[in-house]
Amino acid sequence: MLEQYELLIKIRRRVFEEVAKLAYDEEDYHRLAELPYEILQESVGRSSIFLERAIVRERLRLAIGLPVRKANEQGAVFQGIEEALKDEKFYEPPLINVIDFACNGCPEESYYVTDVCQGCLANPCKNVCPKGAIRIVNGRSVIDQSLCIHCGKCHNVCPYGAIIHRERPCAKACGMHAIHSDENGKAVIDYDKCVSCGMCMVNCPFGAIADKSQIFQLIRAIKSETDVYAIIAPAFLGQFGPKVNLKTIDDAFKKLGFKGVFEVSIGADLCTIEEANDYLTNVPSKLKFMATSCCPAWSVMAKTEFPEFKENISMALTPMVYTARLVKKTHPNSKVVFVGPCSAKKLEASRKSVRSDVDFVLTFEELSGMFAAKKIELNKLQETELKNITSADGRGFAVMGGVAQAVVNSAAKIAPDREIKVFAAQGLDNCRKMLKEAQQGKYDGYLLEGMACPMGCVSGAGTIASPNRAKALIGVSQREAKLKQSVETEYKDMLESLD
């Protein structure tokens, strides 16, 4: 999450911590009613402490997997708790939710003339407006919003910077343009467009948008007699400080009650091999280009908005699914939780085709709540070597361009005479632009990589650390990796049995 939203982050993580404590301790779940008062003992800036606590109540409900309620809906915070106590509790749509009474009703996109306007003689803003939306009133520029088409030309030419571009933060962050206003000016998500990337959630400065969690159900599973294994995305490096690394992560998870932990880079290696073979087989004989499939938000956007390219998106399973299947093949009757940076993975895991492979999805931020609940001292973990061996290329999946580079490297081993041209896009708006250019034939013969989040998975909605810090530590782990390329993985012979 954005580090500059420190207060919101503290509240959000405190909610996860308290829900984790409740699940570990198996206390009377009616204690949920007391938690808003413990989390917020004094006002943190809104007009009313009562409003602030009401918002925390809805965050607590979402954290245990229950639906958010409207302001006019009555009931205790634990209302419907019997649903959350189900052993096989999957996310019920919607995953990303707007707490309407937390929403500030920010204005829609507009250009606005501020008091900085000097009423200059040249009137460049008026002269460049293609719709005649700007007039001079009492020597100052005024924009007629009914005529304005938001082209921004006036903003660009004002010599004083007096014209500002106002835009709702959540809508600005949404690469799917899925957020609009209701009749009261509150944010509304169009779920036919939403791909659950979570960018709106981490960019709302009022904390009005939150996603559902499985932290409550996961901990209940850990406390049962079932073995629960964690599969952790390569972006975890740097998320919990320098002491939580590949040598200490196993001890950290076992202290939480997990049976063990596997790197999702295992699945990334298998995904790489599959995508390299797919490209070499199908491009250009059957497909003009091929695109990677590991980012679910990008994949859904591409298939939804560009249905003619549905076959161009690789059919390879994602690293999460490959790793989960491998764990369940070698550890029958166990449960698997994917731990990563991504909200969209929650949506992917809820698909019927994936449910039997991935039982739970947890973000790094939610995991931090579990560490806090158990009071685990992350600077005092024991070092152990992970049994699974993954490649440098597999670990690079967490960073923009890493997926495509891994495929190129593996393809070069499989077919040294083939040259693969690559283009990568980050952010859904840029991904959309890339596919529009593909429609024009610009990327014929290419391997295209799409990532919904800026810089890749290291900037996912469920991250904690600075993306640059995480990227640097991932680079260190790649240099230290015993294997360099995905084709060297010891699991490649299992690929066919996992598909």
pLDDT for position 28: 80
Q: Does the N-terminal peptide bond of residue 94 adopt cis geometry, omega within 30 degrees of 0?
A: yes
φ, ψ of residue 424 to 5 degrees: the values are: -125, 145
Among the ranges given (38-42, 72-76, 144-148, 166-170), the one the predictor scored with the smallest mean pLDDT: 72-76
CB 13 within 8 A of CB 365: yes
50-68: pLDDT as tens digits: 999 999 999 999 999 999 9
pLDDT higher than threshold 90 for residue 349:
yes
Confidence of residue 47 (pLDDT cuts 50, 70, 90): confident
Residue 390's nearest CA partner among 414, 408, 406 is 406
pLDDT for position 1: 53
pLDDT higher than threshold 80 for residue 4:
no
The CATH code belonging to domain 225-498 is 3.40.950.10
User: Looking at residues 483-492, what average pLDDT do you find?
Assistant: 95
Distance CA 355, CA 341 (A): 19
Strand partners, 180: 188
Distance CA 362, CA 417 (A): 42
Distance CA 480, CA 265 (A): 14
Neighbours of 445 (CB within 10 A): 15
pLDDT for position 420: 95
281-337: pLDDT as tens digits: 999 999 999 999 999 999 999 999 999 999 999 999 999 999 999 999 999 999 999
Distance CA 213, CA 343 (A): 10
Tell me which residue has tokens 């939403």.
194
Tell me which residue has tokens 């990563």.
340
pLDDT for position 3: 63
Confidence of residue 42 (pLDDT cuts 50, 70, 90): confident
Helix, strand, coil percentages, rounded to 5, for the chain: 45, 15, 45
Q: With 0-12 CB in 10 A as exposed, 13-18 as middle and 19+ as buried, what is 142?
A: middle
Domain with CATH 3.30.70.20 in the chain: 110-166
Tokens of 253: 């998870």
310-324: pLDDT as tens digits: 999 999 999 999 999
457-469: pLDDT as tens digits: 999 999 999 999 9
pLDDT for position 302: 97
Cite the DSSP H helix spans in 148-187: 153-157, 169-173
User: Looking at residues 2-13, what average pLDDT do you find?
Assistant: 83
pLDDT for position 29: 85
What's the chain's average pLDDT?
A: 94
Instruction: Pick 385 or 226 by higher pLDDT.
Output: 226
pLDDT higher than threshold 80 for residue 27:
no
pLDDT for position 448: 98
CB 291 within 8 A of CB 230: no
Distance CA 34, CA 412 (A): 60
Tokens of 97: 């939710």
Strand partners, 450: 425
The CATH code belonging to domain 110-166 is 3.30.70.20
φ, ψ of residue 7 to 5 degrees: the values are: -65, -45
Percent of the chain with pLDDT over 90: 86
pLDDT for position 416: 96
Residue type, 400: M
Distance CA 117, CA 123 (A): 10
102 Cβ neighbours under 8 A, 6+ residues apart: 55, 58, 206, 207, 208
Residue 328's Cα: distance from chain center in Å? 25
366 Cβ neighbours under 8 A, 6+ residues apart: 16, 213, 215, 462
pLDDT for position 76: 87
108-134: pLDDT as tens digits: 899 999 999 999 999 999 999 999 999
Q: With 0-12 CB in 10 A as exposed, 13-18 as middle and 19+ as buried, what is 398?
A: buried
pLDDT for position 91: 76
Q: What is the pTM of this model?
A: 0.94
In angstroms, the Cα distances linking 433 to 167, 309, 324, 364, 457 are 21, 14, 33, 30, 20
pLDDT higher than threshold 70 for residue 2:
no
User: Looking at residues 337-343, what average pLDDT do you find?
Assistant: 97
User: Three-state secondary structure along 69-125?
Assistant: CCCCCCCCCCCCHHHHCCCCCCCCCCCEEECCCCCCCCCCCEEEECCCCCCCCCCHH
Distance CA 495, CA 486 (A): 12
